């Protein structure tokens, strides 16, 4: 286990830091290379300054089965612009030259990792400054494929729990999970509907009965108000589709970045950050 992991790592330190501020973490998702590599790097650099606590960086894939139309389109834009997994790791490495503290989690599917070579991927991801992985199509029964090598290499392996993950299944899901648990608040694809606050609160409480890890809630959170509502009980609030749509809405007719692309992401993330910062204050009132 690496020194980074043994000391708790960036993810653990960040959750501890925001807990000291009596608020949840804002976890933001963007697709690597969307709409192009240069703009993607500028967006990545802007996220922490706008209020993002943890960054999920999507690894573009041609068959993203769990993603809604917005993230599918973002992945397609990135792939059409020439994004590869090697370039995604380089993006993280460049980010680390100016930001040594913000946790970065790579999120995506196993196929690109398999093509890259799991052992080489783990080594290169660690060297680039990646902190964790979310691989949505690898169940616990296949932990030997990537989860165990990732943990041994020093990467957190973050697992998804869903409304259909019952108490019998949950221990298996949590067995090798580290960093945090990502609770998918709705059934279906990303960005398809809004989560119900009362149901999310009950689910977070149930998961916490099985683990000491932070629980971050995502899928369907789009506004400052929703972020505040979910953040009253969750340790982290994940926003993806809304940010990706902010990118898409800023592009020109040819799908290229404009002068307003980075600013559009910054403005939305700043609003969301305001929401999570007031989440616990609202709960106390």
Catalytic residue numbers, as ranges: 56, 67
SS (H, E, C) the chain: CCHHHHCCHHHHHHHHHHHHCCCCEEEEEEECCCCCHHHHHHHHHHHHHHCCCEEEEECCCCCCCCCCHHHHHHHHHHHHCCCCHHHHHHHHHHHCCCCCCCCEEEEECHHHHHHHCHHHHHHHHHHHCCCEEEECCCCHHHHHHCHHHHHHHCCEECCEECCCCCCCCHHHHHCCCCCCEEEECCCCCCCCCCCCHHHHHHHHHHHHCCCCCCEEEECCCCCHHHHHHHHCCCCEEEECHHHHHHHHHCCCCCCCCCCCHHHHHHHHHHHHHHHHHCHHHHHHC
């Amino acid at each position: 286990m690496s020194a980074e992991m043994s000391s708790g790592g960036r993810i653990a330190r960040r959750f501890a830091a925001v807990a000291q501020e009596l608020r949840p973490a804002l976890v933001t998702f963007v697709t690597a290379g969307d709409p192009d590599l240069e703009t993607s790097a500028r967006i990545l650099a802007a996220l922490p300054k706008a209020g993002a606590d943890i960054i999920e960086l999507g690894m573009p894939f041609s068959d993203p089965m769990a993603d809604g139309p917005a993230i599918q389109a973002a992945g397609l834009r990135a792939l059409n612009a020439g994004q590869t997994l090697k370039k995604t790791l380089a993006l993280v490495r460049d980010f680390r030259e100016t930001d040594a503290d913000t946790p970065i989690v790579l999120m995506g599917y196993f196929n690109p990792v398999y093509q890259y070579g799991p052992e080489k991927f783990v080594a290169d991801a660690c060297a680039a400054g990646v902190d964790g992985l979310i691989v949505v199509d690898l169940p616990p029964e296949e932990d030997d494929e990537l989860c165990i090598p990732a943990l041994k290499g020093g990467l957190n392996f973050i697992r998804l729990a869903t409304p259909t993950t019952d108490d019998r299944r949950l221990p298996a899901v949590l067995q090798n999970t580290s960093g945090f648990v990502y609770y998918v608040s709705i059934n279906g694809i990303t960005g398809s509907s809004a989560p119900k606050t009362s149901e999310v609160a009950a689910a977070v409480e149930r998961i916490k009965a099985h683990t000491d890890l932070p629980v971050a809630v995502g899928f369907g959170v789009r506004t400052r108000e929703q972020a505040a509502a979910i953040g009253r009980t969750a340790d982290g609030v994940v926003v993806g589709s809304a940010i990706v749509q902010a990118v898409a809405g800023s592009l020109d007719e040819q799908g290229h970045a404009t002068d307003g692309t980075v600013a559009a992401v910054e403005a939305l993330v700043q609003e969301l950050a305001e929401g999570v910062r007031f989440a616990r204050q609202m709960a106390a009132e």
